[in-house]
Amino acid sequence: MGNYLFKLAALTTTALLLQACGGDAQTAAGGAAEPQQTYEWKLVTTWPKNFPALGRAPELLAEKVEAMSNGRMKIRVYGDGELVPALEVFDAVSAGTAEIGHGAAYYWKGKVPEAQFFSVLPFGMNGQEMQAWIQYGGGMELWEELYVPFNLIPMSSGSTGVQMGGWFNKEINSKEDFRGLKMRIPGLAQDILSRLGGVPVNMPGSELFTALQTGVLDATEWVGPYNDLAFGLYEIADYYYYPGWHEPGAIIEFTFNKQKFEALPADLQEILRTAVEAVALGMTNEFLARNALSLQELEENHGVVPRQFPEDLLHELNTIAQEEIDKLADLSPMGARIHQSYREFEASMSEYQDVSEEAYTRARKL
């Protein structure tokens, strides 16, 4: 009996040790544990590699996913042009050339014009309002449905916040000053510029400095002081305008190849979603913090004097913008549904903001 109790105690101790170390019955019995499958994915972006905020976000995603998955998933990030050109990211992920993309939905305007609702609309909702609509106002379900035919799953990567109006080599005092102006500007703002007689250009950020320097462009918008400082745009443009009427809070997106994402184990899918949420919050906060500091640097160290667009010009631009937004409803039944959802949420936000954010901002300046 004593020998039996001794053996039982020994077996019990061994089992407890194995449990504490993550062992299982199969391993305890001498069987080999099944090795877990590992994944090596590619992520392509529309930004220069490691560019502040925009370029760092996909790198942070890769770091978080590898850490949270204990090395089961590794993601290699490719910057603009390293694997595919910036404006071909959508197609590359759709086809499976890369499993993940990072960009902005309005870049796919020529392929999926309704996608512009999920990036930013001129004089539309700001970044905070957009995030609320996407997460709690039905926007996410519509966005996912829109991308199904392209074998893609979209996720928000955060917001740039309200952008600046852009860098110009001439003064802008009225809508007539846009006539003949060659300007890099994305999304629905291209249609507005065209209506004013301007020449919109869709161009990745990596080409802006040279294009503005050589006269290929007369003006360009990019994001805000943080990224504008990094590109050195203050060196080659005479005027810096605000506010960014064309981009009141652009939403940046991650896109996942739907077939490959859904083939992942459930825990890795959740790790990816959780990592995206963390990166999105971090990028949004980074833009707000760094834009403020970078604007100070532009003003104090580089002599930049921001100029406000005239109010009558902003009013005219807004009038045209609302007409162009409403045209998106006529593109397709899907466009009509997204337009209705967007407009209804925008109206509720406008009413609430009057007595919350906007009221507080006014009060703070009294």
**Mean model confidence pLDDT for the chain:** 92
Give percent of the chain with pLDDT exceeding 70.
91
- DSSP annotation of 223 reads S
Token duo for residue 26: 């199969």
Please determine, for residue 11, whether its predicted confidence score (pLDDT) is greater than 70. no
Per-residue pLDDT band for 278 (boundaries 50, 70, 90) equals very high
Instruction: Indicate whether 31 pLDDT > 90.
Output: no
pLDDT at 33 over 60: no
Q: Is the peptide bond before 243 cis (omega within 30 degrees of 0)?
A: yes
pLDDT in tens, 104-157: 999 999 999 999 999 999 999 999 999 999 999 999 999 999 999 999 999 999
The pTM of this model reads: 0.89
DSSP H helical ranges for the chain: 2-20, 25-28, 56-68, 89-95, 127-136, 139-147, 189-195, 208-214, 225-231, 258-262, 266-302, 311-327, 333-355, 357-364
pLDDT confidence tier of residue 32, bands split at 50, 70 and 90:
low
Contact 252, 23 (CB under 8 A): no
What is the rounded average pLDDT of the residues 351-360? 96
User: CB–CB of 255/147 below 8 Å?
Assistant: yes
- Kindly list the structural domains of the chain, giving each domain's residue range(s) and its CATH number in brackets, ordered by start: 39-160+249-289 (3.40.190.170)
Distances from the Cα of 1 to the Cα of 4, 5, 33, 66, angstroms: 5, 6, 34, 52
Check whether 181 has a pLDDT greater than 80.
yes
Model pLDDT, residue 36 = 87
pLDDT for residue 17 is more than 70: no
Percentage of the chain exceeding pLDDT 90? 90
What are the structure tokens assigned to 254, written together?
A: 């991650």
Higher model confidence: residue 172 or residue 24?
172
Q: Are 217 and 211 in contact (CB under 8 A)?
A: yes
Please determine, for residue 28, whether its predicted confidence score (pLDDT) is greater than 70. no
| Structure-model confidence comparison of residues 25 and 104, the more confident one | 104
Task: Provide the pLDDT for residue 29.
Answer: 42
E-strand ranges in 239-359 read: 239-242, 251-257, 306-308
Distance CA 244, CA 260 (A): 37
CA–CA distance, 92 with 86 (Å, rounded to integer): 10
